[in-house]
C-alpha cells in the first residue's frame, strides 16, 4: 500500500478507494451474493455435482493419470489382477466381491479429486462468460482505428468510454472513469480507475460506466488476468507443492515397504501350510498401504486453493498457499488495513475560558458543508457528546458557507454577523491574527500535544462582536478498526509476529501500534526499507507475508514468501505478488494465513488418520489369514469377526467407504483454531490418531455383521 500519511487538514479531498463493504471493523464477510465461490450451488455431496464429476472420475482410470499417485496406482493394478482372477474362477463370489470393492476404491479416490476440480470448473465457466470478443479503439498517431481485441499487442493504447468493455489488461495512462468489475470480483458497486496513481490497473472484460480513459495494454491475448484465473481455478495450472511432493514420496516408500512385506509373506505362509490366494494377498496389500490419504491428497490441495477463490483471492500457485500456512512474520500497511484510513474527530479540547458546548456548536456549524469523512465525523461527535441536533445548510437562512481550498487550508460559515472557521493550525492562527486577535499559549500547547501523540489538530475560531479568537481544538485521529487487537492476539497465539508499515512519523506510528496491539512497526517506510526488513526476517529462517498495491510495492511483494497484491493496484504489483485479492481488502491477509494453516493441518490430520487406520485392518486380516494354521492367532481376532473371508472383505469394504466419508472433510478442511504448535499436535493426535485407531474396529465389525447376514456366506 505504501501510502505516506502526513498531517493535513480534514477538509482535504479523500482519495477514491474501492467500495466499502459490510463493516469497517475487519474483512467483509463472504456473503452468498459475492465472489465466485458463492456461485457454486449445492453442498459437498450435491447430486448434480457428483453426476457431473463421475465421467471425469472414470476418465482418470487411465494408467497414465493414475501413475501420478503411486498408492492409488498400486490399487488400480490390484483391481485389474483380482478382476482377471475372478473371471478365471467365475463361481468364486469372494473374488468378485473383492474385485468390485477394489474398483470402487479407485473410483471413489478419483471422484474426490474430480469433485474438487469440478468446483473449480464451475467457477471457470462463470469467468468464461465474462470473456467477450470485443472491438478495441486503438490509438495510432493520435487517430482511432477499430481492431479486434485479440489483435492487441503489449504497448498498444486503446480508448474506452462509457458503455465500452475494456478489451485487455492494462494501466490507465489518461483520464479517470468508473468501472464495473462485478464480472471479476462479484462486487456490484463500481470502482474508480485513474491514471498516475496506485489505482490505475484495469482488467479485460470489465466495463466502463462513465467518462473516458486511455489504457495501455500490458498483456498478450490469451495471457490476460481472466485467462490465468480460468487456468488456475479449474486446476489445469496446478502444480504439486513441495510438501505435497514430500508426502507423495513418503507414501510411495510406505507402499514399497508393504509390497515387499506382502511378497515375502507368501513363502512363510506356504511353509506354515497356510498358502494364501493371490486375491487375499492383494486385499492385504491394499488395506495396509495408506490408501485413504493417497486417495484424498490431491483433493486436499485443490480444495485449499478453492477456499481462497471462494474468498475472492487468486493464488498463483499452490506453493503460495502452503507458504501462507508457515508464515511467521506478517507485514501490514497501516492505512486501510489496521486503521479505517479516514481520520475521525475524537475530542473537542476548549482553550482556557471557552465554553465546551460553544466549541462543539462552532465546530459543527463550520462542518455542515464539509462532506469529507472527517467533516461528517465532527458533526456526529458534536451530536453525540453535546446533544446538538444535526442542522442542514437550508436551515441556516442566508448563511454563506466558505469551502475548503488548498490555498486557505480552512473552511467555515458566515451567519448572523458571526464568522466561524476551522482548519489547519497555521491557517487559523493567521486568520485570527489578521482579524486583530491572538492565539493563546494554551491553544498552541494543545496543538503541540495532539501532534506529538500522532493526531491531527484542527483549530476552531470565531469572529463576532467580541473580536476574533480561538475557541479550541478538534482532535482528529486515525481510528483503529474494531476488533483488530483481538485479531492480532490470535495471530500471536499462532506464533506469528505482526509488523505495521506506515509512512507516518515515529510518534504517530507508535501511538497507532500501541492501540492496535501489533508487535512492531516500521515508520517513514520507503520501498528500500520494506525490502531490507523482509530480507532480515528471511535471513533468520522466517517466512514473510505482506500486502501491497503500488508500483513501489512490487519489489517487496516479489521478495516476500507470500505477496498479496490488491486488484485495485497497478499491473506491476499484481505481476510481482503470488496472490491477488480481488476485493482489495488488505485485512484478508489474515484470512489467507488461516486458510494456509488449515490446508497443512488437514493434510497432516488425514495422513495421521490414514496410517492409524492400517493398524485396525491389520488386526482384521492377519488373524483371518493364519488362524487355521496357528490357532493361537485367534486371540488377535479381538473383533470376533465371523469368518476369514468375511473379515478380509469387511476390511476392504471399510477401506473404500472411509474415503467417501472423509471427502467432505478434505474439501472443507479441518477446523483451525489459533493455538500453539505443541497443543495443536496433541489435539490432532488425540482426534485423528486415536480416532483412526478406534473407528475402523467399529466400522469393520459392523460391516462383518451385515455380511454375515447374507445367505451362503460363511
Would you name the residues annotated as active-site residues?
Answer: 333
In a 3-state reduction of DSSP, which class is residue 565? Answer: strand
Beta bridge partners of residue 349, listed in sequence order = 473
Q: What CA–CA distance (Å, rounded) separates 468 from 363? A: 15
500 marked as binding residue: no
575 marked as binding residue: no
Separation in Å, CA 185 to CA 27, 40, 127, 620: 15, 15, 10, 52
Q: What CA–CA distance (Å, rounded) separates 584 from 548? A: 10
Sign of CA dihedral 488, 492, 495, 500: positive
Supply 301's cell numbers: 490441495
Backbone angles phi, psi at 284, to 5 degrees: -60, -45
Q: What CA–CA distance (Å, rounded) separates 633 from 445? A: 90
520 marked as binding residue: no
405 marked as binding residue: yes
Q: What CA–CA distance (Å, rounded) separates 338 from 547? A: 12
Beta bridge partners of residue 474, listed in sequence order = 348, 458
Q: What CA–CA distance (Å, rounded) separates 86 from 521? A: 70
Alpha helices in 199-317 (DSSP H): 225-233, 242-271, 278-288, 291-310
Angle at 45 between CA 44 and CA 46, to 5 degrees: 100
678 marked as binding residue: no
339 marked as binding residue: no
Residues in contact with 59: Cβ distance below 8 Å, sequence separation at least 6, in sequence order? 65
Q: What CA–CA distance (Å, rounded) separates 83 from 279? A: 9
410 marked as binding residue: yes
110 conformational bin, left if phi > 0, alpha if psi -120 to 50, beta if neither: alpha
Q: Where are the beta strands (DSSP E) in 538-625?
A: 544-548, 562-566, 579-581
Closest residue by Cα to residue 462 from 418, 430, 415: 418
- Rounded to the nearest angstrom, the gap between the alpha carbon of residue 588 and the centroid of all alpha carbons in its chain is 6
406 marked as binding residue: yes
Q: What CA–CA distance (Å, rounded) separates 16 from 258? A: 63
Supply 689's cell numbers: 490418531
Buried b (16+ CB within 10 A) or exposed e, 403-427: ebeeebbbbbbebeeebbbbbbbeb
CB atoms under 10 Å from CB of 35, counted, come to: 21
Beta bridge partners of residue 332, listed in sequence order = 500
Buried b (16+ CB within 10 A) or exposed e, 472-493: bbbbbbbbbbeebeebbeebee
408 marked as binding residue: yes
469 marked as binding residue: no
Supply 443's cell numbers: 491553544
Supply 40's cell numbers: 457454486
Closest residue by Cα to residue 617 from 658, 668, 584, 661: 658
Closest residue by Cα to residue 666 from 207, 116, 289: 116
370 marked as binding residue: yes
Sign of CA dihedral 336, 340, 345, 346: negative
Separation in Å, CA 599 to CA 401, 596, 605, 705: 58, 5, 10, 37
CB atoms under 10 Å from CB of 45, counted, come to: 12
**Contact (CB, 8 A) for 136 and 50:** no
227 marked as binding residue: no
**Contact (CB, 8 A) for 538 and 549:** no
Closest residue by Cα to residue 311 from 595, 116, 602: 595
**Contact (CB, 8 A) for 646 and 627:** no
Q: What CA–CA distance (Å, rounded) separates 315 from 565? A: 10
536 marked as binding residue: no
Annotated binding site: 370, 374, 404-411, 422, 549, 553
Annotated binding site for Mg(2+): 549, 553
Annotated binding site for ATP: 370, 374, 404-411, 422
Amino acid at each position: 500500500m505504501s501510502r505516506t500519511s502526513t498531517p493535513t487538514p480534514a477538509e482535504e479531498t479523500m482519495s477514491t478507494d474501492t467500495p466499502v463493504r459490510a463493516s469497517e471493523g475487519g474483512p467483509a464477510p463472504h456473503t452468498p451474493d459475492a465472489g465466485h465461490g458463492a456461485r457454486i450451488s449445492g453442498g459437498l455431496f450435491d447430486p448434480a455435482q457428483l453426476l457431473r464429476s463421475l465421467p471425469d472420475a472414470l476418465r482418470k482410470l487411465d494408467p497414465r493419470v493414475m501413475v501420478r499417485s503411486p498408492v492409488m496406482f498400486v490399487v488400480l493394478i490390484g483391481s485389474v489382477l483380482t478382476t482377471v482372477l475372478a473371471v478365471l474362477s467365475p463361481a468364486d463370489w469372494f473374488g468378485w466381491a473383492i474385485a468390485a470393492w477394489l474398483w470402487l476404491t479407485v473410483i471413489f479416490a478419483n471422484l474426490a479429486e474430480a469433485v474438487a476440480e469440478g468446483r473449480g470448473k464451475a467457477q471457470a465457466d462463470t469467468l468464461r462468460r465474462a470473456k467477450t470478443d470485443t472491438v478495441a479503439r486503438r490509438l495510432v498517431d493520435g487517430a482511432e482505428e477499430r481492431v479486434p481485441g485479440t489483435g492487441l499487442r503489449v504497448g498498444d493504447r486503446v480508448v474506452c468510454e462509457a458503455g465500452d468493455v475494456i478489451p485487455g489488461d492494462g494501466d490507465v495512462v489518461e483520464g479517470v472513469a468508473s468501472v464495473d468489475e462485478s464480472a471479476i470480483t462479484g462486487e456490484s458497486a463500481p470502482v474508480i480507475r485513474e491514471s498516475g496513481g496506485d489505482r490505475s490497473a484495469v482488467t479485460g472484460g470489465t466495463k466502463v460506466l462513465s467518462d473516458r480513459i486511455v489504457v495501455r495494454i500490458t498483456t498478450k491475448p490469451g495471457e490476460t488476468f481472466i485467462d490465468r484465473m480460468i487456468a488456475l481455478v479449474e486446476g489445469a495450472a496446478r502444480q504439486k507443492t513441495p510438501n505435497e511432493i514430500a508426502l507423495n514420496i513418503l507414501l510411495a516408500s510406505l507402499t514399497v515397504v508393504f509390497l515387499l512385506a506382502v511378497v515375502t509373506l507368501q513363502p512363510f505362509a506356504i511353509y506354515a501350510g497356510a498358502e494364501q490366494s493371490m486375491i487375499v494377498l492383494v486385499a492385504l496389500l491394499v488395506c495396509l498401504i495408506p490408501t485413504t490419504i493417497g486417495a484424498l491428497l490431491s483433493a486436499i490441495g485443490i480444495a485449499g486453493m478453492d477456499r481462497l477463490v471462494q474468498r475472492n483471492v487468486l493464488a498463483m500457485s499452490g506453493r503460495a498457499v502452503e507458504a501462507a500456512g508457515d508464515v511467521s512474520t506478517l507485514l501490514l500497511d497501516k492505512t486501510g488495513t489496521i486503521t479505517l484510513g479516514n481520520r475521525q474527530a475524537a475530542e473537542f479540547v476548549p482553550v482556557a475560558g471557552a465554553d465546551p458546548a460553544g466549541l462543539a456548536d462552532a465546530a459543527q456549524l463550520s462542518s455542515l458543508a464539509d462532506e469529507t469523512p472527517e467533516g461528517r465525523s465532527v458533526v456526529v461527535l458534536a451530536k453525540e457528546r453535546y446533544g446538538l441536533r444535526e442542522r442542514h445548510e437550508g436551515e441556516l437562512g442566508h448563511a454563506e458557507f466558505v469551502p475548503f481550498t488548498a490555498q486557505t487550508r480552512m473552511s467555515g460559515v458566515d451567519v448572523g454577523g458571526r464568522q466561524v472557521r476551522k482548519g489547519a493550525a497555521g491557517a487559523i492562527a493567521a486568520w485570527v491574527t489578521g482579524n486583530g486577535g491572538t492565539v493563546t499559549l494554551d491553544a498552541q500547547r494543545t496543538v503541540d500535544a495532539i501532534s506529538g501523540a500522532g493526531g491531527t489538530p484542527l483549530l476552531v475560531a470565531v469572529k463576532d462582536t467580541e473580536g476574533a479568537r480561538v475557541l479550541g481544538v478538534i482532535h482528529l485521529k486515525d481510528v483503529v478498526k474494531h476488533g483488530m487487537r483481538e485479531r492480532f492476539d490470535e495471530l500471536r497465539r499462532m506464533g506469528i509476529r505482526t509488523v505495521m508499515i506506515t509512512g507516518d512519523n515515529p510518534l504517530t506510528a507508535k501511538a497507532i501500534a500501541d492501540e492496535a496491539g501489533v508487535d512492531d512497526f516500521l515508520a517513514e517506510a520507503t520501498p528500500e526499507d520494506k525490502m531490507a526488513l523482509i530480507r532480515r526476517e528471511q535471513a533468520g529462517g522466517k517466512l514473510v507475508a505482506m500486502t501491497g498495491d503500488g508500483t513501489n510495492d512490487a519489489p517487496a511483494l516479489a521478495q516476500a514468501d507470500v505477496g498479496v497484491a490488491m486488484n485495485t493496484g497497478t499491473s506491476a504489483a499484481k505481476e510481482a505478488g503470488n496472490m491477488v485479492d480481488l476485493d482489495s481488502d488488505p485485512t484478508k491477509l489474515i484470512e489467507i494465513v488461516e486458510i494456509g494453516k488449515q490446508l497443512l493441518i488437514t493434510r497432516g490430520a488425514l495422513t495421521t488418520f490414514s496410517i492409524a487406520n492400517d493398524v485396525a485392518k491389520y488386526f482384521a486380516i492377519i488373524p483371518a489369514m493364519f488362524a487355521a494354521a496357528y490357532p493361537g492367532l485367534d486371540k488377535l481376532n479381538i473383533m470376533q469377526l465371523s469368518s476369514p473371508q468375511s473379515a478380509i472383505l469387511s476390511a476392504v469394504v471399510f477401506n473404500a467407504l472411509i474415503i467417501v466419508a472423509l471427502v467432505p472433510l478434505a474439501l472443507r478442511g479441518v477446523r483451525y483454531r489459533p493455538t500453539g504448535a505443541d497443543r495443536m499436535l496433541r489435539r490432532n493426535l488425540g482426534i485423528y490418531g486415536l480416532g483412526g485407531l478406534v473407528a475402523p474396529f467399529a466400522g469393520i465389525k459392523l460391516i462383518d455383521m451385515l455380511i454375515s447376514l447374507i445367505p451362503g456366506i460363511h
